[in-house]
Structure 1
Amino acid sequence: MTDAITQRLQIIEDKLAIYELIASHPPSADTALADYTASVYMPDGVFDRGGSLDGAQGAEAIAAFILRPEHEEAIRGGLAHFAGLPLIDLRGDRATVTSYLQIIALDKQGERRELANHGVSTGYRIHRVVVNRWLLERHAGRWKIRSRTLLPVDGSDAPRQLLARGLSSVLQSQN
């Protein structure tokens, strides 16, 4: 294979691996698989949930988030993390990923409705929508999370700026 084809294939493989890494977050959070969460963060990784929620530093501390009794209560109450397709800015062994995440919760107080062929439900509601900025690094051939910052989409400038940074970095890499 030529060097150009080898490089293009590496980019494709890296992006697929990154898609898989980002896509793994909702199932790992919604099943409280802390061992998995710890395995995808760098040992000194950072989880920054903005100014209104607590964060953590270090893979073990980050993984402990999903073992909290409050998180288990949310899971038992019908919690679902729903991720949007990530925007990836790949730069060799580093990548910046920008994405949306919806926190969806069972609406226990909603009106019961039947949907043909799908049963009866009180429905769900979107509890929160956040913008994520993931900084990833390749170590020993595997992509890991160096840091993750998430900001609620609340009408303020910060999440909008985070999204704009993601778009502008991808635009720069294409030029």
Structure 2
Amino acid sequence: MTDTETLLIALAARVQLLEDQLDLMRIISAYGPAVDSGESAAVAGMWTEDGVYDVDTGSLRGHVEIEAMVLSKPHQSYIQAGSGHLIGPPHIEIDGDTAVATCHSQLVLHEPETGTYRVARITANRWEFARVDGQWKVTVRTSRLLDGRAEAREILAAGVKN
């Protein structure tokens, strides 16, 4: 193989990695706007058909349960009053057709009575992805409240270990 061929192969691999990182960041960054606008199908479509959203209150499995969460009365009340699911920049590790992203998120809610906003919760997040038919999809998202319990800190620590 010539030096030029070796260079082209290396550059193609680097470009693929960058494109994969960008695709994963697009999915993660789209979650907040989708869930805050009530776009239940868009939210569910981020996951594989059998994907899991594991939150402190329980696990949602598959598109039907994830859509139902967005359409639920509690979630709709957040939207109607004003809500912002804010997700920090993710730390992403890619291994072929799987990836893991680790980040913080917070839910900010509008208080109509006072016209102010409050942070309702801050969580540690682990997003697990698989490339399915050429597209990245969430297979599991685990979110744990940063309320002093070790489990949330462990999610963050595991995501940044080399």
Q: What residue identity is the alignment partner of 2:43?
A: T
- For 1:109 and 1:35, how far apart are their aligned partners in 2? 31
Task: Give the paired residue count.
Answer: 156
Q: What residue identity is the alignment partner of 2:102?
A: T
Q: What residue identity is the alignment partner of 2:46?
A: V
TM-score (norm 1): 0.85
Match of 1:11 in 2: 17
Give the drift of 1:109: 4.4
Q: Structure 1: where are the runs of 5+ without partners?
A: 111-121
- For 1:37 and 1:106, how far apart are their aligned partners in 2? 22
Q: What residue identity is the alignment partner of 1:139?
A: V
Q: What residue identity is the alignment partner of 2:61?
A: Q
- The RMSD of aligned alpha carbons is 1.2
> Would you identify which runs of 4 or more consecutive aligned residues in structure 1 move more than 3 Å?
none
- For 1:30 and 1:95, how far apart are their aligned partners in 2? 25
Match of 2:151 among 148, 155, 158: 158
Give the drift of 1:86: 0.6
- Cα deviation digits, residues 2-48 of structure 1 (max 9, x gap): 11000000000000000000001001110111111222111111111
**SS of aligned partner of 1:74:** helix
Q: Structure 2: where are the runs of 5+ without partners?
A: 1-6
Identical-residue share of aligned pairs (%): 31
Give the drift of 1:54: 2.8
Checking the alignment, whether the CA contact within 8 Å between 2:81 and 2:111 is kept in structure 1 is no
2:35 matched to 1:42?
A: no
Give the drift of 1:164: 0.4
